[in-house]
Structure 1
Amino acid sequence: MMFELARQRLAPVFNLLDINEEVMIRLSVPKRTIVANIPVRMDDGTLRVFTGYRIQYDDTRGPTKGGIRFHPDVDMQEVTSLSFWMTVKCAVAGLPFGGAKGGVTVNPKELSLMEIERLSRGYIRAFADVLGEKRDIPAPDVYTNATIMGWMADEYAMIARRQEPGIITGKPLHLNGSKGREFATGQGALFALQEYLEHYKPSSEQMTIAVQGFGNAGFHFARIAQQCGYRVVAISDSQGAIYDPKGLNVLDVHRLKQEDNRLASVYCDGSVCNELDYETLSNEALLELNVDVLVLAALENQITEQNAHQIQAKTVLEIANGPVSPDADQILEAREIDVIPDVLANAGGVIVSYFEWVQNRSGMYWEEAEVEQQLKKIMVKESQSIFDHAKKHKCSLRTAAYVHGVERLAGAIDQRGNHKLFKSV
């Protein structure tokens, strides 16, 4: 069902573009689907077997690229949908990659750190034959991080009997990671938002922002946005949300979250954090706040046809993958609420992963300022192209983004030969 919803995004695009039918056929199904059972010895000596997935959706434009998530809801439908979105996202960003995704059905909160390491290394052993810096390059995703990517790269090196740092991106800095990768998704999303505001809603007033999801991407977006003068008034995690119309101290909220695993509005001075006045909300209530920008940085299908009519934000920014359902998209569009789509808004992560891959293969490493400069250059360029498509086709930003990406994919597919070419021979 989830994959069918993802493919619905293509229907309006094919209506706008004059593309060969073979492009539609190629993009309607993944190229390769691999499922593996991963045995892990637990700390108490028992053996558990976890199901792992790797979907390589399309490699027409280059080796496939996509993260690995550890989550209890991971299944074939989810991973296939995510690999499809990665295919479009890499094309939207103009990267020489196809799309892939991986995952393990597991609740990592129930595992010790050593059990997570065994699972991470077991994942690479299970899928090593289909990975490679010229074939398929994983990266972190939900509940995976730089440390896990370092374990995975190390495991691959032991299997291959050689160092091949370009096999994995999102690695720790001292294990051939890239400067700027940790906050790339949040930084890229802010670049996309700023371009959007400049084109559509120029204003000198302080923008109010609510952020659903306070993981790596959501935190860094909120942190950088606040530094740029935006007022972050609400933040949520899986347990609930906090709200203060005067604004939250993002760094202090994050510090308390790391120390006590809870959200609260606080002011920290040295080692002491004092709580400030704030309201507690449900995640559902956060979505319905009257703010300028609602940032979705959690999981899929957060806005659906059931709650789309209650959304009061003027603009929705998708940092998560697929947080707005196709039915909700239509409702928001009818209500003139713009959605800055995931395939553009969260492309910063894969763009800087590309930079890391380039640095690993060349052996020349960039300073953080250069990474940020090159990220901004790509985000601004591709954002402007999407806004031009939206104006030309009189369509939503999502449809414009898909038009932009599918045009590139169609060009690569057609230039390898199609029915029209061979029929003329």
Structure 2
Amino acid sequence: MTSTDTDPLLSLTWTDHVTGRRGFLVVDRLVRGVASGGLRMREGCTLAEVTGLARGMTMKEALHYDPERHPQHRYLPLGGAKGGIDCDPRDPAAYGVLVRFFRAMKPSVESFWTTGEDLGLTQDLVDRAAAEAGLVSSIQAVYPLLDDETAARRRLADAFAVEVDGIGLDELVGGCGVAESALAALDRAGLPYREARVAVQGLGTMGGATARFLTRAGLSVVAVADVKGTIANPAGLDVEALLRARDGHGTVDRATLRPADLELPGDAWLSADAEILVPAAVSYAIDAPDQERISARWIVEAANMPVLPEAERLLTARGVTVLPDVVVNSGTNAWWWWTLFGDVGPSAEEAFAQVRRAMRALVERTLTRAERDGTTPRAAAHAIVADRLPVMGERFGWYR
């Protein structure tokens, strides 16, 4: 590979003059002059982490671009980017850091970086901080690409106002995509849903929605991990009760647990007696020693970069299939743009139907390519991206 294949287009490091906290913006690639990627906030966030996430966003955009169906879609691909702030979102100073980060990044957000919630942040908080920093919107850079900006913004606002059984549609679409990825793998293997057990790390936006969709599909969630530890029940947890009992950071109130629910150490979810593991919290959650404890058949990466490369190599050698993050958790980003550009309307029914169709097709394409090439699903996804990026470059340009 040449340096242009691996190096990001732009990399910025910011230091907060009040707290000394650092923040990062990495633009991996521009397409049509714009790059898409969320903003995360967590203690220990690094430039290397954000750089990897930005490359992942480039891949997600490319994976959801089908050159053959291009004329049928209003939404066309963007580039990949990511932002990160090294700060605990629970820190009382965190919101001020977020506002100052947006003020520093204002020219980027106005011109070429569209962003939204990611690990540690909610969209409401991102919107509030962006407004306080003097921005029109955290996605305003994409507005010049819209046919009717007013109608598009209203459509997205209406979609964000939709709730399904007490949870916002914007929180649910990502979990719908993760769940559909898992279901596609089960269908391909011929395993009935009622025979599949699931362990989930993280009950925040992505993990909570994934647990809901999988439970409603007939699977049994037998373990859930949060910052306080792992909650387990071999007979199945009451996912809806856990969702009602969690706080804004996905931590479950233990006072609401049933007598048969067990409280175990935080890493106990790894060794849960389950067919599917869903890491849906932090990056780098499964390393080489961790993988020895895993007996699951599939790992479905709802979080970004949760399985380290050496761990994945060892898991693959043991027959464990890792469905990669760039495929599995790409539904949220795609839904934003489908809605804004008008490929789907502001309704849960349309959103879920489109996410399910797109994710199932993407998982099938990835697994079929992996079988054909004799590689892992991640290598197959990378190969699909490698096929599509030159087409995107020729069609839309490399920087504009």
Decide: shared fold, TM above 0.5. yes
| 2: CA distance, partners of 1:245 / 1:172 | 45
1:242 Cα offset (Å): 1.1
> Where does residue 332 of structure 2 map in the other structure?
349
| 2: CA distance, partners of 1:221 / 1:356 | 21
> Where does residue 335 of structure 1 map in the other structure?
318
1:106 Cα offset (Å): 1.1
> Where does residue 85 of structure 2 map in the other structure?
104
| 1: CA distance, partners of 2:215 / 2:142 | 31
- SS of the aligned residue for 2:260 comes to coil
Q: Is the 8 A contact 2:155 2:339 kept in 1?
A: no
Query: Closer, same or farther in 2 for the Cα pair 1:80/1:260, shift >3 Å?
Result: closer
Letter in 2 for 1:93: H
> Where does residue 242 of structure 1 map in the other structure?
231
| 2: CA distance, partners of 1:172 / 1:355 | 14
| 2: CA distance, partners of 1:282 / 1:145 | 27
Unaligned runs of 5+ in 2: 66-75, 144-152, 163-168
1:263 Cα offset (Å): 3.8
1:415 Cα offset (Å): 6.4
CA displacement, residues 371-418 of structure 1 (integer Å, 9 cap, x when unaligned): 222222221222221122112211111111111122111333466899
| 2: CA distance, partners of 1:80 / 1:349 | 20
Q: Is the 8 A contact 2:186 2:193 kept in 1?
A: no
> Where does residue 271 of structure 2 map in the other structure?
288
Q: Is the 8 A contact 2:181 2:363 kept in 1?
A: yes
> Where does residue 144 of structure 1 map in the other structure?
121
| 2: CA distance, partners of 1:342 / 1:247 | 26
Letter in 2 for 1:376: R
Letter in 2 for 1:358: F
1:338 Cα offset (Å): 0.7
- SS of the aligned residue for 1:370 comes to helix
- SS of the aligned residue for 1:58 comes to coil
> Where does residue 107 of structure 2 map in the other structure?
129
> Where does residue 34 of structure 2 map in the other structure?
63
1:138 Cα offset (Å): 0.6
Letter in 2 for 1:287: L
TM-score (norm 2): 0.84
Unaligned runs of 5+ in 1: 1-20, 40-46, 267-272, 419-425
1:259 Cα offset (Å): 9.5
| 1: CA distance, partners of 2:118 / 2:257 | 33
1:185 maps onto 2:174 in alignment: yes
TM-score (norm 1): 0.79
Give matches, 1:215-294, under 5 Å: 215-258=204-247, 263=252, 273=256, 275-294=258-277
CA displacement, residues 157-196 of structure 1 (integer Å, 9 cap, x when unaligned): x45xx67864599x99995664422211111101111111
Larger radius of gyration: 1
1:90 maps onto 2:68 in alignment: no
| 2: CA distance, partners of 1:310 / 1:211 | 15
> Where does residue 306 of structure 2 map in the other structure?
323
Q: Is the 8 A contact 1:35 1:54 kept in 2?
A: yes
| 2: CA distance, partners of 1:342 / 1:62 | 25
CA displacement, residues 108-162 of structure 1 (integer Å, 9 cap, x when unaligned): 2121xxx544333322210111123x72201111111021122144246x45xx6
Query: Closer, same or farther in 2 for the Cα pair 1:204/1:224, shift >3 Å?
Result: closer
1:282 Cα offset (Å): 1.9
Query: Closer, same or farther in 2 for the Cα pair 1:393/1:252, shift >3 Å?
Result: same
Question: Please, what is the CA RMSD of the aligned residues?
Answer: 3.0
- Percent identity between matched residues is 24
CA displacement, residues 52-109 of structure 1 (integer Å, 9 cap, x when unaligned): 2111011247621111111111121111111111111221222602111101111121
Query: Closer, same or farther in 2 for the Cα pair 1:232/1:49, shift >3 Å?
Result: same
Q: Is the 8 A contact 2:10 2:28 kept in 1?
A: yes
| 1: CA distance, partners of 2:250 / 2:192 | 36
> Where does residue 349 of structure 2 map in the other structure?
369
1:204 Cα offset (Å): 5.6
- SS of the aligned residue for 1:229 comes to coil
CA displacement, residues 341-376 of structure 1 (integer Å, 9 cap, x when unaligned): 1111111111112234425xx9x9522211222222
